Amino acid sequence: MTRFLISAIALFLTGCVDLTAVQNFASKSSGVMTANSAVFSGWPPIIVTHALEVARTPVIARSERAADAKELLQLANEFKGDSAVIQSAAGALQLYFTTLTSASATGVVDVSKQAASIDQSLVALKVESATGAGLAAKGSAQAIVQLLQIPLDLARQAAVRDLVVKSDKDVQTLVAYLAQVAKQAARLDYVAAGILGKYYDTSAIDSRDPGVQALVRDTGWQRQSDAQSATSQANATASALLAIGKDHAVLAANAAQLSADVVKSTLTADAPIIEAALKPFLPK
Amino acid sequence: MSGTTAQQLSDLADTLTASANAIDAQVNSNLDPLSPEGQHLKDMSGHIATQAATIGMLAMATLQNDVQAAVTDLNGNIKQANQKIAQIQSAQKLLSVAAALLSVAASAATRDPFGAAENVMNLVNMVQGAIKNT
């Protein structure tokens, strides 16, 4: 029986798999979706709205950017028309990573105090003793209660493995799409910033007052800076989404060994890319 | 564009955007942006950026065809996973409650102390039974 208990404890120790890396990855990925949920559902940003407003002015209508402004209006309408699909994709992906976080966090319940209490009672009853063997050995109840946790831990691993393998194709489709959405939002931002810039530039050129000219130019630079920040953050979000897809593919390929070194090292290496997208990519 | 993948379209849009960025950076660094030359180059970069956005929209449209099916599949997988998680959590609660009950039972037992140990083994079956469908 002693051999049985030793084997049981050994099985328990080998049966438990550390899914902390998977849990952290899933949690951060869910965080990226949460941080950008307003962006994925809040199109168009103010910069595009302003660009479309100035597009109607004679300054732009007579300029070299007239065709670009017309194209921006069409593209913005198309993008807005896709908002239901975008929200649906972002919502499903967020729910997925929340579920994966929960599944990988369903750790082994700590019953050590209860098990110790059982052993204490059994020793008091002289069922267990320091010289006893098998079930009569001191601490046997604790070992058995730990043994009970093996099937639970195996079930947890199976749930995570099943979810990751079954969902990988869908996750790849959605992250690729949302990465493209983020990039496209940045591209439209850039076009909008260019049209606003043209409006300010032309206004500055047409003004004969150096003071007014300076103020208009300053406003134009500020808008350009805002657009560059938005573009940079949108690209960070796109990169994060692509990294999430890559990491998830590694999880699926190593589903049988989710605590393997290759999984941990890949997730650790990409963590900064994902963390860079934990804030919205467009200005309010 | 027939046969062109979303990735190729996206790459092309990225390349064009990078070109527009590079032109703007050059104008801002080396020219007066309000000079005729500066304005001409900025107009050119604006046209390129617009073309990039138009191509980017095509990339989005190409990918969009598969999105709805993926959302439906994923939601089904999430539902199944949540059911399994709920079963595991129920079994954990059972294990915790059963261990506590056993502690009380062991304390109360006086006549048949080995019965308490047998009860521990019975717990194995209870827990395994509770999670057999997970």
- Backbone phi and psi for residue B37, each to the nearest 5 degrees, phi listed first: -65, -45
Residue A94: partners with Cβ closer than 8 Å, 6 or more residues away: A30, A33, A34, A37
- C-beta atoms of B127 and A126 within 8 A: no
Q: Is the pLDDT of residue B104 over 60?
A: no
Token look-up 């300054």 returns A59
Q: What is the mean pLDDT of residues A76-93?
A: 91
Nearest CA in chain A to B103: A118
Chain A residues close to B64, C-beta within 8 Å: 82, 85, 177
Nearest CA in chain A to B15: A187
Residue A208: partners with Cβ closer than 8 Å, 6 or more residues away: none
Q: What string of H, E and C letters represents the secondary structure of A104-152?
A: HHCCCCCCHHHHHHHHHHHHHCCCCECCCCHHHECCHHHHHHHHHHHHH
The whole-number pLDDT of residue B105 equals 60
Q: How many C-beta atoms surround the C-beta of residue A209 within 10 A?
A: 9
Closest CB to B103 among A72, A82, A117: A117
Measured in angstroms, the CA of B2 and the nearest CA of chain A are apart by 19
Chain A residues close to B71, C-beta within 8 Å: 88-89, 92, 170, 174
User: Residue B84 has which token pair?
Assistant: 């399994």
**CA angle, A238 as apex, A232 and A239 as ends, to 5°?**
90
- C-beta atoms of A158 and B134 within 8 A: yes
Structure-model confidence comparison of residues A48 and B76, the more confident one:
B76
The whole-number pLDDT of residue A1 equals 44
The sign of the torsion formed by the CA atoms of B9, B14, B15, B20 equals positive
Residue A277: partners with Cβ closer than 8 Å, 6 or more residues away: A32, A35, A36, A233, A236, A237, A239, A240, A241
Chain B residues close to A197, C-beta within 8 Å: 42
Q: What is the mean pLDDT of residues A64-83?
A: 91
Where is average pLDDT lowest: A139-143, A200-204, B33-37?
Answer: A139-143
ipTM, interface predicted TM-score of the complex: 0.75
User: Residue B97 has which token pair?
Assistant: 């409650």
Chain A residues close to B67, C-beta within 8 Å: 85, 88-89, 173-174, 177
Total CB pairs under 8 A between chain A and B = 233
- C-beta atoms of B103 and A114 within 8 A: yes
Token look-up 């047998």 returns B118
The whole-number pLDDT of residue B56 equals 95
| Tens digit of each residue's pLDDT (9 = 90 or more) over A105-114 | 855 555 566 6
Where is average pLDDT lowest: A142-151, A189-198, B98-107?
Answer: B98-107
Nearest to A14 by CA among A161, A160, A157: A157
Measured in angstroms, the CA of B88 and the nearest CA of chain A are apart by 6
What are the CA-CA distances from residue A37 to residues A56, A89, A178 (Å)?
31, 11, 11
Q: Is the pLDDT of residue B90 over 90?
A: no
Where is average pLDDT lowest: A259-263, B26-30, B41-45, B99-103?
Answer: B99-103
| Tens digit of each residue's pLDDT (9 = 90 or more) over B41-73 | 999 999 999 999 999 999 999 999 899 999 999
Nearest to B88 by CA among A48, A251, A99: A99
Residue A229: partners with Cβ closer than 8 Å, 6 or more residues away: A283
Chain B residues close to A133, C-beta within 8 Å: none
Optimal mutation site among B51, B103, B110, B125, interface A, most CBs of chain A within 10 A: B103
Chain B residues close to A125, C-beta within 8 Å: 106-107, 109-110, 113, 116
DSSP states along A163-174: HHHHHHHHHHHH
Q: Is the pLDDT of residue A231 over 50?
A: yes
- Cα separation, A34 vs A253, in Å, equals 27
Measured in angstroms, the CA of B86 and the nearest CA of chain A are apart by 10
- C-beta atoms of B71 and A140 within 8 A: no
What pTM does this model have?
Answer: 0.79
Residue B89: partners with Cβ closer than 8 Å, 6 or more residues away: A106
Q: What SS3 state is found at A27? A: helix
